[in-house]
Structure formats: C-alpha cells, structure tokens
Amino acid sequence: MTMTRRERLRENTREEIKSIARRHMQEQGTAAISLRAIARDMGLTVTALYRYYPSHDDLVTALILDAFNSLADAMENADSSQPRERYANRLMAVMLAYRAWALQNSADFQLIYGNPIPGYHAPREITVPAVVRGFRVVVGILAEAMANGQLHPSVEYQQLPPHVSAFMTELIEQDGYNIPLEPMYFGVSGWVKMHGMIMLELFQHTPAVVGDPEEFYRFEINNILKTAGLTLD
C-alpha cells in the first residue's frame, strides 16, 4: 500500500533519528544513545521526538531489530548465492558475510552483541524472531547436510556433553527449530568461535598476533567445517 505524504515524512524522520543514534553509538559507544542528544542534533525538542519514539527503550528496540534483520539479510543473501548441495561452501559464504557485516556495521554489531545498555531489557516477543533469523540460516544448512548424509562429526564430537545436549534438545522443542541435536550443537559451537574471532578483530586485538585477520578467519572457519565432516570445493 502506498504511503501518504504524512506517513512518508514520519517514516523519514524515524529513520533520521535512528541514523543519528547510530552515529552517536559509533562515536561514543552504545550507552551514548540519548533522546535528548538526538533531539539537539535535529533541532527538535525532546517532547517532539517522543511522537516518533515514545521512550529511549523503544528507540533501542528499533535499532536492535534493524541490526539483527540487516545481519540476517546479509547471511541469507550469501547463502542464496551458492549451489544448494554445496553445504560447506554455503556455510563459508554465510560466515564470511557475518564477518563482513560486523566490520562494516561495528556500532550495530556491538549494540546487539556487545556491552548491555544499563536499564534496558529487550522485549523478547518483539526481538527474538529477528535474533534467531541469522542463526536459523546456519543450523538450516547443517540440518540439510545431515538429512542428505553429508554431516560427519569428527571423533571428539560424536559424544556430546550430556547436560548441554539435554538443554539444547529442550531448546529445539521449545523454539520450534524442527532439527536434530547435531546441527544445533555444531551451529552453536561454530557461532561461538566465529563470534569470538570477530569481536577480537573489532577491538584490534587479532591483527597484532595474526597479521591478516581475514586469512586467519577463513582458515579457522574451514577447520570448523572439517570437524562436521564438510569439505569446501
């Protein structure tokens, strides 16, 4: 449905508010999100800003939704660029897209995965669907690989930790993932390692010890894939 002029102006203003909030995050960190500071930059009163975002938490939630959905879009697009039966290639493309997005959108990445904002509590019913979109891409590929006999865990992963396995099994049922335990475990394990490398790179720790963070990242992601029995073409 076509928006009216008033609706377009309102949406443009909402986007401008978020853009300024991202700039403030980039310059001063996620805790710097302030409706008062944004209003000052826009030449508006704080009261006027409340017409677009009723509270600080509403703005933070909107930023979080945008970030998770943008990251998921990048991962889904990367997956769709690869042949369906090339599971390792699909996962490598997705994980490279994850890193590229994080480096290009470092303020947003730190908002969703960095230090929590004091006093803010994300409304799960609103944020969780966006949060799990990207993760579902990864575990979905792993589940497809398993269904087609291509997932072959290395010896050390053939006996998973019992308490972790029980928790993940319950999580799979509760959140409706509809996948076996193995893809979930490999998805979480790979994500933890991938995320750790990216966070260290974002804060400039990795370059000093590896020289080329991208080459290091590719090599380690390939090793993660090998533990699942998946080989790149």
Question: Which domains does the chain possess?
Answer: 1-54 (1.10.10.60), 56-227 (1.10.357.10)
* Closest residue by Cα to residue 197 from 127, 96, 107: 96
* Model confidence at 109: pLDDT above 90: yes
- Note every long-range contact of 117-120, with CB atoms under 8 Å and residues 24 or more positions apart, other chains counting: 117/30, 117/31, 117/33, 117/60, 118/31, 120/56, 120/57, 120/60
| pLDDT of the residue at 45 | 94
DSSP structure class, residue 114: S
Q: Which amino acid is at 44?
A: L
Q: Is the pLDDT of residue 176 over 90?
A: no
Residue with tokens 């979080």: 64
Reference 187, options 107, 118, 117, 132; nearest CA is 132
The three-point CA angle 77-81-86 to 5° equals 120
135-145 pLDDT per residue, tens? 999 999 999 99
| CA dist., res. 36 & res. 76, Å (int) | 36
**Sequence-distant (≥ 6) Cβ neighbours of residue 150 within 8 angstroms:** 87, 229, 230
- The pLDDT value given to residue 68: 98
Averaged pLDDT score across all residues of the chain: 95
- Whether 1 shows a pLDDT value over 80: the answer reads no
pLDDT score for 110:
94
- The rounded radius of gyration (Å) of the Cα atoms in the chain is 20
Asked whether residue 202 carries a pLDDT value surpassing 90, the answer given is yes
Which among 131, 15, 121, 124 has a CA at the least distance from the CA of 65?
131
Q: Quick one: how many helices (H) and strands (E) in the chain? A: 11, 0
* Inter-residue contact 27 to 110 (CB < 8 Å): no
Q: For the residues 52-79, what does the mean pLDDT come to?
A: 98
Tell me the mean pLDDT in the region 191-215.
96
What pLDDT, on a 0 to 100 scale, did the predictor assign at position 169?
A: 96
Task: Express each pLDDT in 41-51 by its tens digit.
Answer: 999 999 999 99
